[in-house]
Amino acid sequence: MKVIAINGSPRKDFSTAALLKQAISGAESVGAEVEIIHLYDYAYRGCTSCFACKRKENAGSGHCAMRDGLSPILEKVMACDVLLLGSPIYYSDVTGMMRSFMERLLFMNMTYDNPMRTAPGKNISSAFFFTMNLPKEGEHYGMPLFEQNSRSLALLGGTTEYLASFDTYQFDDYSKYAAGIFDVAQKERIRTEQWPLDCRRAYEIGARLASK
Ligand SMILES: Cc1cc2nc3c(=O)[nH]c(=O)nc-3n(C[C@H](O)[C@H](O)[C@H](O)COP(=O)(O)O)c2cc1C
């Protein structure tokens, strides 16, 4: 069982990466082979609309003709059994790096045939982990975004789900930043009470998906 975690945050040791690391620990606990990839380590672009993956001889091959830093990562993803994606919310969406990754992954895995064909012979289950500054009370604003992004991964032939973690810490020490709009005591409460539960859920998702 191969599990790949893709971190769409520029930070390798903050909230998004922490949830992904919990999920891969869960996967490891049931014997999966795991790898975490930090998208910001790679130079790549989003889909350039070359349509090579829509040409009759290529359509449905699950292959992207663009050659750049993302090429080996896409190959690894196509060879995995479970895909774990993580992204902070930046201006009400996933990060640009995650978006570009998804354009490439999703477009190469669908055809314009009628009926449409999707990933050839694949059955990759996935979970999407979102972290954001928004408090949980604003969850309904994010819901369509969470659902749309996680459901788009159904193209890979497996189950899809997501976990959203709210009111995350942006800085280690709020006293050093001009950030008076935040209620630091509330942030601390979330950190102590809710964050460990989110980490636990991430661990359980990783363990469950890797046991299927
Ligand atoms: C450029 C930028 C834009 C952001 N936009 C939003 C936003 O629209 N909504 C939100 O709730 N949080 C927003 N945030 C906060 C991050 O989503 C949040 O701190 C997240 O947990 C960061 O993930 P990380 O700790 O893994 O880097 C933004 C942060 C940055 C740096």
pLDDT in tens, 154-170: 999 999 999 999 999 99
Task: Give the domain ranges of the chain.
Answer: 2-211
The region of weakest confidence among 52-61, 73-82, 112-121, 164-173 is 112-121
CA of 131 to the centre of ligand 1 (A): 7
Task: State percent of the chain over pLDDT 70.
Answer: 100
CA of 48 to the centre of ligand 1 (A): 27
pLDDT of residue 44: 98
Mean pLDDT of all residues belonging to the chain: 95
Nearest CA to ligand 1 atom 19: 170
pLDDT band at 111 (very low <50, low <70, confident <90, very high): very high
Amino acid identity, residue 16? T
| pLDDT above 90 for 7 | yes
168 Cβ inside 6 Å of ligand 1:
yes
Q: Which ligand 1 atom sits closest to the C-alpha of 169?
A: 19
| pLDDT above 80 for 120 | no
Distances 167 to 52, 72, 89, 97, 193 between C-alpha atoms, Å: 42, 34, 11, 22, 12
| pLDDT above 80 for 133 | yes
pLDDT of residue 110: 93
131 Cβ inside 6 Å of ligand 1:
yes
pLDDT of residue 140: 83
| pLDDT above 90 for 95 | yes
Task: State percent of the chain over pLDDT 90.
Answer: 90
The region of weakest confidence among 29-33, 112-116, 197-201 is 112-116
Q: Which ligand 1 atom sits closest to the C-alpha of 18?
A: 26
User: Which residue matches tokens 């996680």?
Assistant: 150
Nearest CA to ligand 1 atom 22: 88
pLDDT of residue 98: 98
Q: Which ligand 1 atom sits closest to the C-alpha of 138?
A: 11
Neighbours of 199 (CB within 10 A): 18
3.10.310.30, 3.40.50.620, 3.90.45.10, 3.40.50.360: CATH of 2-211: 3.40.50.360
The region of weakest confidence among 41-50, 78-87, 139-148, 181-190 is 139-148
Q: Which ligand 1 atom sits closest to the C-alpha of 14?
A: 25
User: Which residue matches tokens 């859920």?
Assistant: 201
| pLDDT above 90 for 14 | yes
Token pair of 32 as six digits: 């999966």
pLDDT of residue 193: 97
92: left (phi over 0), alpha (psi -120 to 50) or beta: left
16 Cβ inside 6 Å of ligand 1:
yes
35 three-class SS: strand
